[in-house]
Structure 1
Amino acid sequence: MSTTRHGAVEDLQEARPSAAIGLTRAGVTHSAKAIRIRHDGDERLFHAEIACFSDLRPEQKGVHMSRFEETVNEAIDEVVLGEALRIEVLAEHIAQRVVERQRARRSEITIRASYPVEKLTPVTGIATQEMYGLIGVAAAGPSWSRRLVGVTAQGMNACPCAQGLLRGQAADDLRADGFSDEEIDRIVRLVPIATHNQRARGTLYLGTPSGEGIDADALLEIVLDGMSSEIYELMKRPDEQFVVDRAHRRPRFVEDSVREMIAGTLERLPSLPDDAFVLAHQANFETIHTHDVEAERHGLVGEIRAELSGTAGRARHLSMTEWLDGAA
């Protein structure tokens, strides 16, 4: 005898919760998808992970999780069948749909894709495939939306602190061996001084209120230049020599990399409006400590321009969430 029962199924998500408290956000993460987006003038297929969130009313028990997946799939199908979009535009497209399907006041979408770039090593010119991250973030409400684009890349930093200690030690040893101060200055200027290295990851986000397209490859160059040196998956010994030498001639703290990324953004993109938003984050993975180190700066481009000109900045920097929501 069949035990299947037919009848109306209660929509538990629409039921009242035991505690009528609204939630800032609820949703799904690590939803793996294949998406086609436009990058570097071409339309490419990318593997991506998508995170979808919306707020939740106090009287509603839960969000409709299946609707997130349905919304993402519908948006991706439209893109695959139609015109490919930039990653941040696709994120905004999904965010707008989530607000409608979840009857939410706010949604936030993050798409993270990995994409390969073929590069040539700096000395031998060997072709090597490097993987970089492309990020689209968007927030939306019933009558508004904002988006930004981000990139992330690995590199290396050489520690200035340890290098300073070893430079001092080298100078003392050379002086004790009879070298003059002039000779010592010349030697330490010409010979790379040892220090410990840190593999590092830099991340840079940029958004404009108008939603004007940002060249992700330009952001990637800024990120890589903010570190002591680029790194490569495949290198011959002359390439290794070049990378290590370059890194030790450009020692940088984690804080230096963040400042270099921010300053590089303003220098290379001088037409950015003052109300554009920028976020730079750097993580260095230590080799002589058991901890890692991170630094970050976020805020309006106008605020940073004022700081660079010597004007005191805001006591609190505008966050990404605040900018996405249109806060001044």
Structure 2
Amino acid sequence: MSDFPVVGDMQASAPPVGLALSRAGVTGVHKAIRIRRGDHEILMAAEIDCTVDLARDQKGVHMSRFPELFDEAIDDVVLGEGLLVEALADRIASQIVRRQHALRAEVRIVARWPQRRRTPVTGLTTQEMVSLIGIAAATGEGSRRVVGVEATGINACPCAQGLVRGRAAERLAEAGFGDDVERILDLVPIATHNQRGRGTLLVGTAHDLDAEDLAGIVERSMSAPVYELLKRPDELHVVEHAHLRPRFVEDSVRIALKELLDAEPQLDDGDFVLSRQVNLETIHDHDVVAERWGTVEEIRGELDGGPPPARQTSLEAWLGAS
């Protein structure tokens, strides 16, 4: 006979306060996953968050069962065919709804994806890391999923550049350059302060999208891409390119959404899009951020000249409609 007392299902017992919880689960679970990108499969390190809605009469969630379900789903992927990251999130969320008898489950996976590319002038091979994001929400009736990326670039500040240009024009005029001032300023990149930026693009759709295409949209929305490896000719190219295309944090968000909808005309009106840009300031002791979210119909309508929607559909609301 065991010396240990038999413990009942504590999670299913009544809580001290009868109040439903919006989320309960686990966060920061680290796993290795195999993801399909085009014709290739890549083994990636991923971080997984998973939560469920908790009823008012249930004390807790079976937290220890989450990693077990993760392992089962991931083993299927590693041993079998690789999946898209958003499909893996969908699979885990749907399994948790069935196995935990939850009303709703939400899963977020962020994997670090190595991209190989060449430097712009010398053509050297370099590896850049992009965050690959998969989000899914599932209920007993169905699921919705989101694919996205987060990539790094550089933004050159238009405001400071305008001030520098104005002061340079005054100095050139004082030095006697007269009618040549504007021509000189058009030929020479004008100084400004730079901001390393992190751009995020999320798309909620049943269509399969290529994460590499999304990463390209994010990088092009900024003044210039950045590279881990740069020789001097490459460095000159990046700096000149950035200063010839100055952009605010707000510019990057708008440009990314427009390019996405231009590049992906198959997206349905009810699909979801979100663009977020965070710039790490250099001359201020704070960072700057801009975001826009909504359905494809909301964004397209405004880009076509229509009025802004009375209410922009958020990611939470869109996932909640699953």
Contact kept in structure 2, 1:118 and 1:127, CA below 8 Å: yes
Using the TM superposition, give the Cα deviation of residue 269 of structure 1 relative to its aligned residue in structure 2, in angstroms. 1.2
CA contact (8 A) 1:230 1:243 kept: yes
1:41 has 2:36 as partner = no
Q: Give structure 1 stretches of 5+ with no counterpart.
A: none
Task: Identify the match of residue 177 of structure 1 among 144, 167, 175.
Answer: 175
Q: Partner amino acid for 2:232?
A: R
Question: Equivalent residue for 2:50?
Answer: 52
The structural deviation recorded for 1:103 is 1.4
How many residues are matched?
322
2:69 alignment partner in structure 1: 71
- What is the distance in 2 between the residues matched to 1:114 and 1:253? 27
After superposition, the CA RMSD in angstroms is 1.3
**1:199 and 2:196 equivalent?**
yes
Q: Would you identify which runs of 4 or more consecutive aligned residues in structure 1 move more than 4 Å? A: none
Q: Deviations over 1:82-111 (max 9, x none)?
A: 221110000000000111122111110001
Identity of aligned residues (%): 55
Task: Give me the whole-angstrom Cα distance separating, in 2, the residues matched to 1:145 and 1:8.
Answer: 38
Letter in 2 for 1:203: T
Q: Deviation of residue 129 (structure 1)?
A: 0.9
- Aligned-partner SS, 2:15: coil
1:203, distance to aligned residue in structure 2 (A):
0.6
Among residues 78, 81, 84, which one is paired with 1:80 in the alignment?
A: 78
Matches within 5 A, 1:266-281: 266-281=261-276
1:188 aligns with 2:180: no
**CA–CA distance in structure 2, aligned partners of residues 117 and 37 of structure 1:** 14
SS in 2 for 1:274: coil
Whole-Å Cα distance in 2 between the matches of residues 128 and 192 of structure 1? 26
1:30 aligns with 2:25: no
Query: 2 CA distance for matches of 1:30 and 1:40?
Result: 27
Taking the aligned partners of 1:142 and 1:270, their CA distance within structure 2 comes to 31
Query: Distance in 1 between the 2:41 and 2:187 partners?
Result: 47
1:256 corresponds to 2:251: yes
- Deviation of the 1:37 alpha carbon: 1.3
- The answer as to 2:321 corresponding to 1:326 is yes
Residue 272 of structure 1, CA deviation: 1.6
SS in 2 for 1:273: coil
Q: Distance in 1 between matches of 2:53 and 2:107?
A: 12
- What is residue 166 of structure 1 aligned with on the other side? 164
For 2:196 and 2:210, how far apart are their aligned partners in 1? 26
Match of 2:152 in 1: 154
Q: Secondary structure at the match of 1:37?
A: strand
Comparing 61-70 and 308-317, the one that deviates more? 308-317
Q: Which residue of 2 is the match for residue 223 of structure 1?
A: 218
Separation in structure 2 between the aligned mates of residue 309 and residue 129 of structure 1, nearest angstrom? 38
What is the CA–CA distance in structure 2 between the aligned matches of 1:322 and 1:41, rounded to whole Å?
Answer: 34
Q: Distance in 2 between matches of 1:40 and 1:179?
A: 56
CA drift of 1:31 comes to: 0.3
Q: CA deviation at 1:44?
A: 1.5
Q: By how many angstroms is 1:5 displaced?
A: 1.9
TM-score (norm 2): 0.97
Q: How big is each residue's C-alpha offset from its partner over 1:30-55, in whole Å with a ceiling of 9 and x where there is no partner?
A: 10001111013211211100000000
Letter of the aligned partner of 2:35 in structure 1?
A: I
